Structure 1
Amino acid sequence: MASRSDLDAYAHDHVFLGASHDENARRTRWVVALTAVMMIGEIIAGYVTGSMALLADGFHMATHAGALSVAAGAYAYAKRHARSPAYSFGTGKVGDLAGFASAMVLGLIAFAIGAESVMRLFQPINVAFGEATIIAVVGLLVNIASAFLLSGSHHHGHDDHGHGHEHHTHAGDNNLRSAYVHVLADALTSVLAIAALLAGRYLGWTWMDPAMGIVGAVVIARWSWTLMRDTAAVLLDRTDDHVAGEVRELVEASGDARIADLHVWRVGPEAHAAIVSVVADQGVTGDTIRARLAPVHELAHLTVETR
């Protein structure tokens, strides 16, 4: 029977948080604060000036503040429970769950803005174009600052996860990505609102205000669908074809082993797990397969079964 020291040598944790987890969490909290302040200002200004584009941007930003708060909460929850044995493969996918929820909220926002804008096309109201434009410009500046905060973590490096190392890029962090998409959606609606308000003020095109609301709704809906699709793939443990192909090639290259069953899925922003069942010639052991797969830097957790 193996001794305690032997078991300890093989024991490991399942902390698969991104290398920039704490930094991304801090950036997200700052963006939540900025968004909340601007949200209040735009909603008030939208009611006072009568601008649908500005009011839509304000309520849009309000729901974004909520979604961004969910993102910030996801970072905190994932870190707090990272070593909990209750989660078989850690909490690395908590951010994907938050991202999926945010994507759903983004889709509802797009529908609400589109529906209200269509109504305003047939039932126009008076808009205080000058005052509304000023607020919309301020909102755009806040969105640009928020996008800069969230995009500031774009860098490359390497992170050691205990089972291997992973090329780092925050692009795999769907929680941060969802926050970034929300900010971009805010920026888009601000730009469209400014264009509509200027057209209404100087060209008399009052129809531009609700029309820009419809355009914004369509673009935001597309972003929502893309984010929902990508996060759902992670939550459903969809096979990473690139990593799976690399695993199969390395294991079978020598001709003395064939993969009978292979599972490769993502367990965190920068980490994948794999279960590899191999039918091999005599002398090919689990350690042999592990050695062959050492170059696959995406693998942070590897289980090998030989037959």
Structure 2
Amino acid sequence: MAEKEPERNVMSGQRFFYVTILNVAITIAEFIGGALSGSLSLISDAFHNLGDSFSIVFSYGAHKISQKRQNERNTFGYKRAEIIAAFLNAIALCLICLFLMVEAVKRISHPESINGSLMLAVAVVGLIANFVSAFLLNAGAKHNLNMRATYLHIMSDALSSVAIIVGGILIDIFGWVWIDPVVTILVAVYIFYESIPIIRQTNRILMQGAPVIDYQAIKHDLLQINGILGVHHVHAWSIDEHNVIFSAHVNLHDMKISEAQQIYSQIDDLMEKKYHMCHVTIQAETTRGEGEDMIYDRGNDIP
């Protein structure tokens, strides 16, 4: 069977409430602190935290939707809701980073005076709150792309706070006001870099992509089952990061359905235990499709 998510309720309503309240509080504090101190990095982090608050609510909603059972309208269920949320959250994070980098470059060209002590104090408060939020989200982030995207939002905020603290100290000691926009750029680049893998993985799933699979090994193993003469028209695609669907056409001798069913059972056992497919569909044929490619390709996406 496909790898099960160890903690299905990766984000309880209580944890969701606490994390949301913490992020709203950080956002208000950083907006006020940034305005009073003149720190772009604090204001940029406030925008980031504001985005996090929406992201957390969005992720939690998607998580609740994903728990709905499959029905006539969605025969594969609603697990993709979390993939969509993770994709959109990661895209939003990248857009925020690009905006912050542009603003930081402008600030380098036109530096402004900054109250380093106030900047430092607000950043310390933000760091503590972000670490608490990260702790609350940690378990779900290990096994769920949606929560991982949200967790990345929180951890990137914690990193921002650390960078702002360092910047505040340097401004206080040396008066280096240029360090503020430089910190903003460095943090934005790092967050952008960390967001790209989530975008790639979620995009691949939404595009019906399959995980890395050795198709030749699958064909070899299937042909070892007594009665299977050929394998073609194979499809494998991901529902989410844990569940993979597999279908294939197999050539068999002309036999009774009851005899073919025994072969089906062997195929199911092989594909689920060795290749971790959560659902397997087999179409039995005698001579139809003999000699055709394992991966169907005649210029059409679906035969």
Q: What TM-score, normalized by structure 1, do the two folds share? A: 0.82
Paired with 2:214 and 2:7, the residues of 1 have a C-alpha distance of 22
Kept in 2: contact 1:53–1:196 (CA 8 A): no
Higher RCO (CA < 8 A, seq sep 6+):
1
Kept in 2: contact 1:286–1:304 (CA 8 A): yes
1:5 counterpart residue number = none
Match of 1:259 among 224, 228, 231: 231
Match of 2:75 among 88, 91, 101: 88
Q: What do residues 276-306 of structure 1 show as CA deviations (whole Å, max 9, x unaligned)?
A: 2212345654334223334136222111111
RMSD in angstroms over aligned alpha carbons? 2.3
1:177 counterpart residue number = 148
% identical equivalent positions: 24
Q: Give the length in aligned residue pairs.
A: 275
Instruction: State whether structure 2 residue 204 is matched by structure 1 residue 229.
Output: no
Runs of 4+ in 1 over 6 A off after TM superposition: none
Change beyond 3 A, Cα 1:92–1:115? same
Instruction: State whether structure 2 residue 133 is matched by structure 1 residue 143.
Output: no
Amino acid at match of 2:233: D
Change beyond 3 A, Cα 1:188–1:294? closer
Q: Spell out the pairing of 1:184-263 with structure 2 (5 A cutoff).
A: 184-242=155-213, 247-254=218-225, 256-263=228-235
Match of 1:56 among 27, 44, 52: 44
CA offset at residue 233 of structure 1?
Answer: 0.7
2:244 counterpart residue number = 272
2:84 counterpart residue number = 97
Q: Spell out the pairing of 1:24-63 with structure 2 (5 A cutoff).
A: 24-26=11-13, 27-63=15-51
Paired with 2:282 and 2:140, the residues of 1 have a C-alpha distance of 35
Q: What do residues 48-93 of structure 1 show as CA deviations (whole Å, max 9, x unaligned)?
A: 11111111111111111111211011012222x3333211311111
Paired with 1:263 and 1:87, the residues of 2 have a C-alpha distance of 20
**Largest Rg, 1 or 2:** 2
Change beyond 3 A, Cα 1:82–1:254? closer
1:165 counterpart residue number = none
Q: Spell out the pairing of 1:124-139 with structure 2 (5 A cutoff).
A: 124-139=111-126
Change beyond 3 A, Cα 1:148–1:246? farther
